[in-house]
Chain A
């Protein structure tokens, strides 16, 4: 009873504390100065048709690097906690074969989903989406084939190589920005090109492709270690 009362008291306290945030809210009629600068100068400075991408990859590039690092640490943690089965090669666990429909559908759909993921991160500077979304779509394609062919093994050497290489190249491009352009992760180390074309916006497509590969391989690693953990 006392416990319930205390919980209620804490809830009421939070309501009183957060009420000003809700009641004082005013519909904004114009952008704040920083957003206005991004909207006005972004297309000319960076040449990216999708303004969100130019903010994420270039103006706030360091935050994106932090997000990629967070995802990497999460993957490393999952791989560390869930040990792989040692004797998985000696006596493989009997697993039920998946149905004919699932296998055929997977064979048909996996390449298409893969291609769609690549499309999303290559066109990150033109259409909504980008490296993270594309990487997740690629990971879901591999998840589908993992579900329908449970016996298949994922080549960890290739996976680790893709992940490390794309991470290192991302940083190298960021550091190149210091020497060739205005600062760390500046996209103007490559020519900006025609606005709205695939090969435009400097290094943004390159950076987003690297992020897509890195995120995709990391998520595949998480799913694989969850599927094959021995507990």
Chain B
């Protein structure tokens, strides 16, 4: 049961990793990168590592996403060659 959940979550993680690379809009890439961290934290929880899961959920999908969004806000509208 748990193995099945972990495999499904892993497949979704790989899919969102590809999405983060190949998405046209930068904003979607940032969200996809946050989804990877969120699913990783669920997997840590299932593997009985709640401490690591809390860190991953708070830093990986929370603060890192916000920092990326701030950076995206700064970069946006600058130069002609942005894909955002």
Interface residue ranges, A against B (CB under 8 Å): 50, 52-53, 120, 128-130, 132-133, 136-137, 139-140, 143, 219, 222-223, 226-227, 229, 231
Contact = CB atoms under 8 A, between A and B. Distances in A.
B8 interface: no
B55 interface: yes
A133 B66 contact: no
B18 interface: no
Given A129-B51, A130-B51, A136 B59 contact: yes
B50 A226 contact: no
B74 interface: yes
A133 B67 contact: no
Contact of A136 (B53, B63, B67): B63
Interface string B43-79: 0000000110111001100110011001100100000
Nearest to B71: A226
B2 to A, nearest CB: 15
A53 B50 CA distance: 12
A136 B74 CA distance: 23
Contacts of A132: 55, 59
B66 A143 contact: yes
Interface of B: 50-51, 53-55, 58-59, 62-63, 66-67, 70-71, 74
B51 A226 contact: no
Given A133-B55, A136-B55, A223-B70, 14 more contacts: A52-B51, A53-B51, A120-B54, A128-B50, A129-B50, A129-B51, A130-B51, A133-B51, A140-B58, A143-B63, A143-B66, A219-B63, A223-B67, A226-B71
A226 B51 CA distance: 28
Contacts of B50: 128-129
Contacts of B53: 128
B66 A223 contact: yes
A130 B66 CA distance: 22
Given A219-B63, A226-B67, A226-B70, A137 B58 contact: yes
